[in-house]
């Protein structure tokens, strides 16, 4: 492929990606056909196909035989939950927000831990522990593992301006997620960090995300029981 064709392919990919990420093209919207894109950009079918293949590999579009390409819809195992941006939620309430990074280390997956081994995908993990703070009070304690095989740039970030979760949402869009929710009690260490009594009720949210089939992150967030809830609105199952 010539330099011109390669540049055109990147341009097509960039324009389509911008339309998807901005929300101008919502999930399930049909992408213009290859013939339409060829005419619009004045390029070959191979150039258009390369751009579409890259977008499909990124999980932003799905290609259906004989039907064309469509904006991908995020797949979530729990049909009633999205992935919240804690930082945005707190700021939307006109409260000051900060993320206190308590611990940070790069390590290998623990031997015998199948979930960590799958997440690491042969590479290292970035292990983070931090505290989300709203105003002057602890809002949530977070333990997170990020796959550096999937997100190598995370190794260089200090998360001083943006929490790990917010950064991932803005820079590494997920295509599949799994949520697990449970009620737990605060042990002494957690109670101290969240400024609670030992034994206080907590909401535990454990989440895994993937991007186009590649594991990205695992996170466990602990919220004081009276400070956070999850609300779902849905219709009858088909």
Q: How many CB atoms lie within 10 A of CB 128?
A: 24
Backbone φ and ψ of 219, nearest 5°: -145, 145
Same domain, residue pair 55 and 105:
no
| Pairing of β 176-185 and β 75-76 | parallel
Whether 199 is in a domain gets the answer yes
Q: In sequence order, what are the beta bridge partners of 68?
A: 64
Same domain, residue pair 84 and 201:
yes
pLDDT band at residue 63 using 50, 70 and 90 as cut-offs: confident
* DSSP per residue, 78-98: STT-----HHHHHHHTT--EE
CATH number reported for the structural domain that contains residue 20 in this entry = 1.10.10.10
pTM of the model: 0.65
**Tens digits of residue pLDDT in 1-29:** 444 566 889 999 999 999 988 889 988 79
Angle at 166 between CA 163 and CA 168, to 5 degrees: 105
Whether 57 is in a domain gets the answer yes
Whether 185 is in a domain gets the answer yes
Tell me the CB-side half-sphere exposure of residue 165, using CA atoms within 13 A.
Answer: 27
Same domain, residue pair 212 and 129:
yes
Same domain, residue pair 94 and 136:
yes
Q: How far apart are CA 81 and CA 79, in angstroms?
A: 6
**Tens digits of residue pLDDT in 137-160:** 899 999 999 999 999 999 999 998
Same domain, residue pair 66 and 149:
no
Q: What would you report as the CA-atom Rg of the chain, rounded to the nearest whole angstrom?
A: 21
Tell me the CB-side half-sphere exposure of residue 14, using CA atoms within 13 A.
Answer: 7
**Tens digits of residue pLDDT in 116-125:** 999 999 999 9
Q: How far apart are CA 204 and CA 222, in angstroms?
A: 5
Q: In sequence order, what are the beta bridge partners of 179?
A: 207
Domain span holding position 108: 76-224
CATH number reported for the structural domain that contains residue 154 in this entry = 3.40.1410.10
Please say whether the beta carbons of 207 and 132 come within 8 A.
no
């Amino acid at each position: 492929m010539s330099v011109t064709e390669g540049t055109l392919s990147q341009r097509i990919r960039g324009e389509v990606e911008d339309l998807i990420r901005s929300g101008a093209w919502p999930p399930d919207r049909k992408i213009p056909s290859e013939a339409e894109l060829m005419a619009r950009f004045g390029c070959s079918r191979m150039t258009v196909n390369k751009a579409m293949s890259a977008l499909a590999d990124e999980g932003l579009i799905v290609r259906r035989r004989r039907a064309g390409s469509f904006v991908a819809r995020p797949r979530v195992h729990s049909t009633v939950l999205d992935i919240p941006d804690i930082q945005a939620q707190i700021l939307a309430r006109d409260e000051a927000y900060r993320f206190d990074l308590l611990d940070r280390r790069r390590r290998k997956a623990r031997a015998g831990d199948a979930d960590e081994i799958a997440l690491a995908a042969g590479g290292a993990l970035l292990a983070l522990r931090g505290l989300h703070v709203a105003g002057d009070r602890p809002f949530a304690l977070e333990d997170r593992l990020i796959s550096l095989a999937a997100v190598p740039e995370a190794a260089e970030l200090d998360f001083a301006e943006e929490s790990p979760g917010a950064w991932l949402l803005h820079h590494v869009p997920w295509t599949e997620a799994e949520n697990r929710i449970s009620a737990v009690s605060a042990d002494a260490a957690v109670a101290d960090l969240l400024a609670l009594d030992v034994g206080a009720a907590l909401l535990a949210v454990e989440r895994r995300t993937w991007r186009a089939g590649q594991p990205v992150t695992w996170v466990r967030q602990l919220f004081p029981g009276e400070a956070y809830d999850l609300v779902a609105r849905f219709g009858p199952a088909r």
